[in-house]
């Protein structure tokens, strides 16, 4: 396993559509292991392969301490709405207000190519939607209706 560099918003690869995974082999397993380690080290809740420069449809999500690996994820159903602050490892130090579904159900493959369904609500649903956006070349700042100013960020830090 190895830590990978997380690319930032100005990198062109983050604005491209990722290709489906077709080979379920040791290389994919190594990528997933590296992504797990990189996400944990960065203290984030989700990481998509394009964020480390790999244009493949691969995501790792931290669902309350359990890391979920999603290969070729497809959102099947969403419901409800949540409105909240969102950040991204590829947009360090910046946060914005984004509307996302309250519930997301998706279908994905595991590292061996087996299909399964996963669902989440709240932060997990937000993360599923956010990471699937990355696979389509979109960053949350495109969906944000308000990016927090430096002053607003300072106020939030004071409250903590």
Q: What is the largest CA-CA distance in the chain?
A: 48
The active-site residue, picked from 119, 131, 151, 157, is 131
The DSSP call for residue 152 is H
Cβ neighbors of 58 (< 8 A, separation 6 or more) are: 18, 21, 28, 31, 32, 35, 48, 49, 69, 70, 71
- Is 128 exposed, middle or buried (CB count within 10 Å of its CB: 0-12, 13-18, 19+)? buried
Question: Catalytic residue at 69?
Answer: no
Catalytic residues: 131
């Amino acid at each position: 396993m190895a830590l990978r560099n997380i690319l930032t918003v100005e990198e062109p690869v983050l604005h491209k559509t990722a290709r489906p995974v077709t080979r379920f082999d040791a290389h994919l397993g190594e990528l997933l292991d590296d992504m797990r380690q990189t996400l944990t080290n960065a203290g984030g809740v989700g990481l998509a392969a394009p964020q480390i420069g790999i244009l493949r449809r691969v995501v790792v999500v931290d669902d309350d301490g359990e890391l979920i690996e999603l290969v070729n994820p497809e959102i099947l159903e969403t419901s409800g709405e949540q409105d909240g602050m969102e950040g991204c490892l590829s947009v360090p130090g910046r946060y914005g207000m984004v509307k996302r579904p309250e519930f997301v159900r998706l279908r994905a493959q595991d590292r061996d190519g087996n299909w399964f369904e996963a669902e989440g609500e709240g932060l997990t649903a937000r993360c599923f939607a956010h990471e699937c956006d990355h696979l389509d070349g979109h960053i949350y700042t495109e969906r944000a209706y308000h990016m927090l100013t430096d002053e607003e960020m300072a106020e939030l830090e004071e409250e903590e």
